[in-house]
Amino acid sequence: MINFNLIQHKYLNWIRISNRRNDDNAGFSLLELMAVVLIIGILSAIAAPSWLGFINNQRLGSAQDEVYRAMRIAQSNAKAKREAWQVSVRTEAGTEKVQWAIHQAIPTIKPTDLSVASESDRSSLSAWHSFDSQIEIDPGATNVELNADGVYPLIFNYNGCAVGQRTEECTESSLDDDPTKIPPLKLTFSHKKLGDNTRKCVRVETVLGSIRAAQGVNQEGCPPN
């Protein structure tokens, strides 16, 4: 005779054992979860400074690249249109943001009268374009002269040569009269949260207008004046 009570008892025991196994495998214990959270926190604390340093260096590199391209455009426009063009760089009063602009080097255009372009517009001529707020001009490693308007001007004459005044010829540049201004001319930038060794600059290597980007503090980079 079949003992249904015994079968039922064994079946219920099997269900209880299965449930306990499922509970054991259902997830982590509180101690295990705390250990995982602690490990993640430690790894984040180690990685965060390196990641922020990388991001800040990328922003500094972007500022350098924009000024480099601005100089190339100004030089190209000067040659194509047979007239002097200028790259102006300044620290805007009030916001303390470093800005750059490309415009004709003529008396009727004052850099201080130019409008400020929107953040999304990085290509308009005759307008100021702003860098990240942590970017600053390094005056101790910049030998382009700051003028009375608070602007660092870099002028290319109609032949694309770097000159001190818009009407000067390549072989008659006033830059040659002052040993501190003889190329390489340097516009140097730094990041407020990075060290001097990370400074980046754009150099005009010769009066004829050879331009290159550089970095660091050695003589081939962005050394102090």
Please tell me which residue, 13 or 125, carries the higher pLDDT value.
125
Does residue 109 surpass a pLDDT of 70? yes
What domains sit in the chain, N to C, each tagged with a CATH number?
31-215 (3.55.40.10)
Asked whether the beta carbons of 120 and 126 are under 8 A apart, the reply is no
Q: What is the pTM of this model?
A: 0.76
| CA 21 to each of CA 10, 28, 30: distance values in angstroms, whole numbers, following the listed order | 17, 14, 18
Does residue 58 surpass a pLDDT of 90? yes
DSSP reduced 3-state for 9:
helix
Residue 138 to residue 17: CA distance in whole angstroms: 73
**Residue 60 is which amino acid?**
L
DSSP reduced 3-state for 166:
coil
Half-sphere exposure at residue 159, Cβ-oriented, CA atoms within 13 angstroms: 13
Please tell me which residue, 125 or 61, carries the higher pLDDT value.
61
**Which of 55-64, 91-100, 114-123 has the lowest average pLDDT?**
114-123
| pLDDT mean across residues, the chain | 84
Check residue 17 and give its pLDDT: 52
> Where do the DSSP E strands lie in the chain?
85-91, 98-104, 115-116, 127-130, 135-137, 151-156, 162-163, 185-191, 200-204, 211-215
